Amino acid sequence: MSFGAELLQLLFDRQRLIMAAVTPDPPVVHTVLASAMSGFMSRIPCHPMDTIKARLQSAHGSHYTGIAHCLRLTLAEEGFRGLYRGFGAVAVAGTPAACVYLTTYEVLKSKLVSKDSKNTAFLGHFWAGMGAEAASCLVFVPVDVIKERLQVQQSPPGAALRAEACSSGSRSGRSSAVPAYSGSWDAFRMISRSEGILGLYKGYYATLASFGPFSALYFVFYEQARAVLGAVSGRSDSASLPAGLTMAASAGAGAAAAVVTCPLDLAKLRLQTQRRLRAGEPLPDGHLRGLGDGLRLAWREGGVRALFRGAGARAAFHAPSTCIAFTSFEECKKLVQQVI
């Protein structure tokens, strides 16, 4: 038998042992506490890259030539504080959303993934990820709307872009059409007053259509990576993986899922950041009525390249974000089990 065949047989045997191992599911309260802690911890260092991603993907993202250019203009125009636009909304409501997300996933995984179904376990992970996203979006979408509207606006609007346009003569210098909000609470108040409560849930189905596949693919990649790493490292239970291997699995899965689903995220962001029309108001040019409109418009702007605008920033955000979130989640679960 060749070396390659022996290695495949070893991995298969290890995977069978992993799926056959009986590991009791932790109590839900442990998952709730661990997810609440990990959700907040992951956002602090990664929010700036999320802001860069949002600006690259916005309707005016063509003003930027890439991640470095967007970062330089943001810092020149707004300082370091500009990179944390929308963080207040995430800090207040994003943690409960992460708690709902991870807790729902763990509960659904325990119901959908059987220890004996090693060949179909990925389907359980896929649908558990979709279900977790559907539940968390009820909390997360209003947060996402506020966060992204704050992220894509500039203060003062477009100042650095207009300055560059004047010096180079190559850019139009138009400022963003998003109204200026002074902070998360001001954005919540203005959106609720001018667009109603539905304005806060703008793009719920688009968000689910975007983040649903991301979550589903992420958990498929993540769980499979943990299983393989557990087999290679000689552990019969992937739950006992050291933090370093969990970091590798989560970062790789996050980056891969982020790139694959980038077009959906781009269309979702543009849908959420446009103003909701009042009854009887004429439809302006370029107004998006759904995710399909956003994808078609991006395609007309530049084909595949336009659809994947911000993919690098999206991967650069999700790789460390999921790495921190899921490594801290797994470690916090162990800590909570010891303390409680």
pLDDT band with cut points at 50, 70 and 90 for residue 268: confident
Nearest CA-CA partner of 116 in 185, 210, 15, 31:
15
pLDDT > 90? residue 254: yes
pLDDT > 50? residue 213: yes
The distance of Cα 140 from the centroid of its chain, to the nearest Å, equals 11
pLDDT > 90? residue 290: no
Separation between Cα atoms, residue 317 and residue 56, nearest integer Å:
13
**Contact of 98 with 40, CB cutoff 8 Å:** yes
DSSP of 26-59, one letter per residue? PPHHHHHHHHHHHHHHHHHHHHHHHHHHHHHHST
Average pLDDT over residues 113-129: 81
Chain segment 38-78, per-residue pLDDT in tens: 877 778 888 998 899 888 888 666 678 888 999 999 999 88
Separation between Cα atoms, residue 54 and residue 57, nearest integer Å:
5
Share of the chain above pLDDT 70, in %: 77
In this structure, of 86-90, 262-266, 274-278, the range with the lowest mean pLDDT score is 274-278
Surface-to-core class of residue 107, CB atoms within 10 Å of its CB (0-12 exposed, 13-18 middle, 19+ buried): middle
**Contact of 78 with 43, CB cutoff 8 Å:** no
The amino acid at 181: Y
Share of the chain above pLDDT 90, in %: 20
Q: Which two tokens stand for residue 165?
A: 């346009």
Torsion angle of C-alpha atoms 99, 100, 102, 108, degrees rounded to 10: 150
**Contact of 18 with 237, CB cutoff 8 Å:** yes
3-state secondary structure of 228: helix
Surface-to-core class of residue 206, CB atoms within 10 Å of its CB (0-12 exposed, 13-18 middle, 19+ buried): buried
Higher pLDDT, 30 or 312: 312
Nearest CA-CA partner of 58 in 269, 250, 226, 283:
269
The pTM (predicted TM-score) of the whole model is: 0.70
Domains of the chain: 25-153+161-256+309-339 (1.50.40.10)
Separation between Cα atoms, residue 54 and residue 191, nearest integer Å:
19
Could you give the angle at the alpha carbon of 131 between the alpha carbons of 340 and 214, nearest 5°? 105
Nearest CA-CA partner of 305 in 257, 263, 256:
263
At residue 326, the pLDDT reads 85
Entry field: residues in the chain: 340
